[in-house]
Chains A and B, each alone.
Chain A
Amino acid sequence: MNTIVAPAVPSAAALSVPGFWRRARHHRSFVIGAVLALLLLLAALVSFVWTPWSPYEMDMANKMQAPSAAHWLGTDAFGRDVASLLLVGARASILVGVIAVGIGLVVGTALGLLAAARRGWVEEAIMRFADFSLAFPAILSAIMMTAVFGAGIVNAIVAIGIYNIPTFARITRASANAIWSREYIAAARACGKGSFSITMQHVLPNISAVLIVQITIRFAIAILAEAALSYLGLGTQPPQPSWGRMLSEAQTLMFQQPLLAVFPGMAIALAVLGLNLLGDGLRDLLDPRLARAR
């Protein structure tokens, strides 16, 4: 009989290993990524209780100012404080990330687990559907959705979330199939467990590491997608601040005040970079074999 070599799936057991945090502290990209991701979260949280100025208050007398003691990052074309806008704009990014990734994670993972547990035509149907929906570029399908249902943050989130579903479904199915071929699944079946409880108790915990890594990466992509949609005027609507819209508004003023584009651009870049580094770090830390090689 042929030995089936299961593809590598990092074990979630690593999370419970005492050495995880000790190793994590010495992993450079994990630390940098975690700090940047925490800064993003902190910016959004702080904006609820305090911003240097009101992000909605216009001050035409002081528009397009360079950074100063009063306005740390300057003011925009309407005299609004850029630092305050960035802080409040972080909320939109996080909101989009959490909900859009949440939609993709819940629905996509459920479909992937179902495909792996049922096999046969169910698996074929789900996977062909995933292939089909991945054939459309993400931004295009989001534009299509907002064109049909109207522009706005909710529709943008839903569009990005739907795009995440096939990605999560594919990753989940591939990892879950690898787990299903393990002997402890045979042992669980030999104990008389049904496929639902095997999926929930044995398969899901064992693929959680893969999913955690994927969440961080998808989160970054969702932030980028929100910025792109808002830039196109299809995402967050005024006066609600969003990094993407700040960029698009700054575009017309590039020659008068280039800093207006630099700050939101930097915010987006740092958030995406941070989440990607965090994902890379987690991938290394949750994979016992990579951890040893280091």
Chain B
Amino acid sequence: MPLLEVNDLRIGLQTQRGPAEAVRGISFSLERGETLGIVGESGCGKSITVMSLMGLLPSTAKVGGSIRLDGQELVGLPEKAMCQIRGNRIGMIFQEPMTALNPVHTIARQVGEPLRLHRGLSKTEARKEALGLLERVGIPDAASRLDAYPHQFSGGQRQRIGIAMALACGPDLLIADEPTTALDVTIQKQVLDLIQSLVAEMGMALILISHDLGVIANSVQRMLVMYGGSMVEAGPTKAVFAERAHPYTRGLFAARPVLGAPRTGRLATIRGSVPELVDLPRGCAFAGRCAFTAEACYTTKPPLAMKPSGHAVRCLRLEEIAAQSAVPA
């Protein structure tokens, strides 16, 4: 049985312009120790998807489909039972290390908190465990800094503290929602390396959200590309990077800056702008912005086509695309 099984997940949100479907039928599964990356631009539903795994959606959100953790259904689970899972079975690392720690509590208290909550440790025991965790995530001289407040740490250190907090109870699944977006590049690398080594060491599954393709390429075994609330392409990272079957994935790749490439003007862009969730086309979400758009794209939702490499793509015009262009370099 896989650790996490998400089946046809649908999330409806109330927006100012009426109800919108933010996530439209996402399915994936994750084994213990497996790592999954989710890529896509802002507003494509990646954060909403992982928030639904934590049961942290706003109360007005409507969730359909199923999310199973070790066979236990999480959709519709009462808040009390969900509290037992959050921080205990599923840990989460947040995007903004500057705001993800409470400014009025010491870090020893914050890191020890989940342990006191889920393991029933005493204050002294939790403090001892917190010290071990902080040392493990590489806070220098952790013993003397247990009683320091968050503002006394740098951004990278705070992200490490956030990781220690997420890992306190040894969760089975770790969710990292753009954990390095707010950090500078050298610190990014250190934090990603730390997450990876911890995941390998503790045998956790990892879901890493990012819009940075470089981060995804180096950190995860499988990846999932999202656009407009749908999964447009999914598969082993290597296969997706090699084939880039969906036109949206190609667009993402073309738009990234390449180190050392000759500066021949502007970066490529995907033409048009992201449609609002309220007025997404009925068929393919990418219809209209895609160079291969045909009549059918507006009306028919493309089925998920499996490739032999275990790589799935949601596009009606795969053959035409394959015929017309080789994978761009």
Contacts and interface: CB of A to CB of B under 8 A. Distances in A.
A193 B99 contact: no
Interface string B84-120: 1111101110111001111111000000011001100
Interface stretch (A44-52, A200-208, A228-236, A237-245): A200-208
A192 B83 contact: yes
Interface stretch (A64-72, A151-159, A179-187): A179-187
Interface string A216-255: 0000000000000000000000000000000000000000
A13 B100 CA distance: 15
A17 to B, nearest CB: 9
B297 interface: no
B49 to A, nearest CB: 13
A188 B102 contact: yes
A19 interface: no
A12 interface: yes
A120 B104 contact: no
B117 A11 contact: no
Interface string B172-206: 00000000000000000000000000000000000
Contacts of A194: 79-80, 83
A1 B178 CA distance: 14
A40 B242 CA distance: 78
B117 A184 contact: no
A239 B165 CA distance: 62
B166 interface: yes
A136 B168 CA distance: 52
Nearest to B98: A183
Contacts of A201: 105
Given A191-B86, A205-B104, A13 B151 contact: yes
Interface in B254-298: none
B195 to A, nearest CB: 16
* A-B complex: 8 closest residue pairs judged by Cβ atoms: A191-B87, A192-B87, A192-B86, A190-B92, A183-B99, A205-B104, A13-B103, A184-B102
6 contacts: A183-B95, A189-B86, A192-B85, A192-B117, A193-B117, A206-B104
